[in-house]
């Protein structure tokens, strides 16, 4: 496992992070299995864990907090959560007002049992949400010692504004085999000393020959989520089916190694299976041949 600087924050994060969200966070998924995944990831060297206050209907963040209680050396871990998306009954809404952000932040500190949260992200803000009122809130809670680093989870023109705002310590962004255009923003962030965290580095495995193989309720949940949010990638994934037929590397290994070639601080992958976690960890010790890397480029 390699440990990379998170920009100029002074924090180091494992090159593979564990996403604690989605099906992992819902009560229907075994609490014992969910906590075990976190514990085994930490034992195997993962130090970056990402969640959000609204994830899994609000269940992911407190579940991660319970998992962290039985980890001995928590000081080496870097925990990231997100604010700005709120649960309104059963619906998700956006609220970046200072009062709403403060309420979420206080709840996150309680859920994770942390006085100072290492990383807090604004979750999918709009261009209008990035304003002086929001920036003043960020500076205020940092000055109180409640947050060490602020970031934003966003893409496109919103990410461009974040990178030019001179207010953010890190960003979480989409970059993977099927979405390579944001490499420009990865490079720009790194040049400015802003830490880069990759979401969806495995491109939702839509390059896989097994994308329609549903073996469990978790598979069915993720399949419906991809249909809803990432349908265009289904077609682009066909172009990369050849990654499943390479010697010495699996398709998933190729996708993860490709994402890490961007020199991001960490690639965050969520899973409900320990065997998937172990496979991702094994991939870190492999090399992506240069000729194959060049073939993968758009």
pLDDT band at 90 (very low <50, low <70, confident <90, very high): confident
Alpha helices in 45-191 (DSSP H): 60-68, 98-112, 132-143, 156-165, 183-191
* Mean pLDDT of the region 178-196: 98
Query: What does residue 78 show for φ and ψ, rounded to 5 degrees?
Result: -115, 115
- pLDDT for position 212: 63
Question: To the nearest whole percent, how much of the chain has pLDDT over 70?
Answer: 99
| DSSP H helix total and E strand total for the chain | 11, 12
Question: To the nearest whole percent, how much of the chain has pLDDT over 90?
Answer: 85
Tell the burial category of 30 from Cβ atoms under 10 Å away from its Cβ (0-12, 13-18, 19+): exposed
Lowest mean pLDDT among 39-43, 104-108, 223-227, 261-265: 223-227
- pLDDT for position 91: 84
Does residue 287 register a pLDDT over 90?
A: yes
Comparing 31 with 231, which gets the higher pLDDT? 31
Distance from chain centroid for Cα 112: 17
Using one digit for the tens of pLDDT, what is the confidence trace for 254-275? 999 999 999 999 999 999 999 9
- pLDDT for position 87: 83
pTM: 0.94
- pLDDT for position 217: 77
């Amino acid at each position: 496992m390699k440990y990379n600087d998170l920009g100029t924050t002074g924090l180091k994060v494992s090159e593979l992070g564990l996403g604690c969200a989605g099906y992992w966070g819902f009560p229907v998924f075994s609490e014992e299995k969910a906590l075990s995944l976190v514990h085994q990831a930490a034992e195997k060297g993962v130090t970056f864990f990402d969640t959000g206050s609204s994830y899994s209907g609000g269940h992911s963040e407190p579940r991660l907090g319970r998992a962290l209680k039985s980890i001995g050396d928590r000081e080496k871990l870097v925990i990231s959560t997100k604010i700005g998306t709120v649960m309104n009954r059963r619906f998700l809404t956006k609220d970046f007002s200072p009062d709403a952000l403060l309420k979420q932040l206080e709840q996150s500190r309680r859920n994770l049992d942390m006085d100072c949260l290492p990383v807090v992200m604004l979750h999918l803000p709009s261009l209008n949400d990035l304003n002086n009122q929001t920036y003043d809130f960020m500076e205020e809670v940092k000055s109180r010692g409640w947050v060490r680093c602020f970031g934003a989870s966003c893409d496109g023109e919103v990410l461009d504004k974040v990178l030019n705002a001179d207010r953010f310590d890190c960003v979480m962004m989409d970059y993977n085999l099927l979405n390579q255009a944001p490499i420009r923003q990865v490079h720009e962030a790194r040049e400015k000393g802003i830490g880069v965290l990759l979401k969806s580095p495995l491109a939702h495995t839509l390059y896989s020959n097994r994308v329609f193989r549903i073996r469990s309720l978790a598979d069915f949940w993720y399949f419906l989520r991809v249909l809803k949010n990432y349908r265009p990638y289904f077609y682009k994934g066909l172009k990369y089916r050849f990654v499943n037929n390479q010697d010495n590397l699996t398709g998933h290994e190729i996708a993860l190694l490709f994402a890490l070639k961007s020199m991001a601080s960490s690639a965050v992958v969520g899973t409900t299976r320990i065997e998937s976690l172990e496979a991702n960890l094994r991939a870190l010790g492999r090399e992506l041949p240069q000729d194959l890397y060049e073939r993968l480029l758009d």
